[in-house]
Every structure is written in C-alpha cells, then in structure tokens.
Structure 1
Amino acid sequence: MKAAQERKNLSLSDTNVTEADHSNCRRVTPVLNRVGDKWSMQVVMQLANGPKRFSELKRALDGVSQRMLTLTLRGLERDGLVSRHVTPTIPPRVDYELTEIGNSLRDPVMALGAWALEHIDCIWAAQQRYDAMQDN
C-alpha cells in the first residue's frame, strides 16, 4: 500500500499539541493570512528600501491591479505594517513606507524567499509526480 494511503488522521490526543496551542493558532491566523496572501509580502519587500508612491509600487508589482494594490495597502496599514503619508499638493502626493513592525518582517520574508529558491526544483518535481499519479 502506498505511504499516502497508509497515513491516518491525527487527533489532538495523538499529538503533544495542547488546547493553548490551538488557541494561539486561532489568534495568529489573521496575521498569517495577511503575510501569506499574494501581494502583501511583495509590497513589504518593495518598501524595504524606503518609501514609495502608489504608482511606483504599481509599476514594480507586475500583474497587480490598482484595486488589489489599494486593498493590499489598506490591509497592511490597518495591521500597522505600512504607514501612509499624504502631502497636500495638487494632485496630492501619497507615500507608503514600512512601520517599525513592518520592517521587522523583512528578514523572515527574505528567509522564506531563500528557502523557496533553495527548494523550488524539489517542489516542482513533487508536483509533477503528484499530477502524473492523478492522471492515472
């Protein structure tokens, strides 16, 4: 029998995971959703070298729509990771930059990116094997 078919579902009693661990997971899920979405960490990395205007971010993020970038920036601002500065000119100038907590994300995001680059070939190979098994 294949290893995947031999696995069983684990319950809380089968592991060393406590109810407090589950509670903490529920608490951090919204944060992990933010940092795990398609555009947020790309925005964080674009702002890692200093403030940028909306139009600069839009040009740097290939494929992001104006609406999605606006929603992403609002979410990052709401979470305290990005600050928005409006200069009252005509038209108004709006700059975005990382807050202190936003800057603290740079190293973990870079580490995750490095991990992904290191393992991408293995992941692609696993995907191909999986897809080939699904076709049979």
Structure 2
Amino acid sequence: MPYVPDDLLSRHFQSNGLDLTSKIEEHINEVAPGTRNLPLYRDMMLTVLRMAQDDRNRWDVKITLQTLRELDKAFRVLERFKGRRKVTVFGSARTPQEHPLYAQARELGEKLARSDMMVITGAGG
C-alpha cells in the first residue's frame, strides 16, 4: 500500500512564509534522485524542523539523533541479510546459567537456529 502523507505536519508547522517543503524535496532529490520514499523523507525532515521550532530540550534532541544513527547503522548491517528470517530475543543478561529460564532460552535459541532463523539477542554472556 503506498504511503499517503497526512498533512498534519504541514498544518501544525509554522513556516513563516518559507517554502520549506519544496526546499526539502530539492535537497532530497539531490542526494536520492527518483526515490519512491520522497514523501517519507520529507515528513522526517519536517518533523526534525518542527522539533527545532519547538526548541526541544537538549536531552530529547540527543536521544532522537542517537536513535536515528543507531537505526541507520542497524539497517546497513542487516541489509546483507535481507530475505533471511530473523527473530529478536529480549531477556536479561543477568539470568544465572543454572536457572531454568536460562536453559529454556538456550533451547529456544537452538531451535530457532536449526529452523534457519537468524537470532538477534542482546549483549548477554
């Protein structure tokens, strides 16, 4: 289903007479000519500009920036595994090895791997 942008951002963004949408689209077309994702990239950039206009606190802005950087890195890493089924397992790295949940998680991981699933876990031991 194609992305149909909601004009919500435009309605709540005070552009002070600037044609920001056109300028943003020009910049996107310079770096990614012909991209089908133009409306999505445009809305992402308008969101960042709205955050700047609201002058969000520094902590919120740093979290947003770090999140985008981590997503970009993850997408680049996972790109080579496109088409391979993946599952993410969340848990606690502090679960003792003798605990029944540890054994259960290990068994689940082995079954998933035998099923040719790529298993993504945290940084547990």
TM-score by structure 2 length? 0.29
Higher helix proportion (structure 1 or 2):
1
Higher strand proportion (structure 1 or 2):
1
TM-score by structure 1 length? 0.28
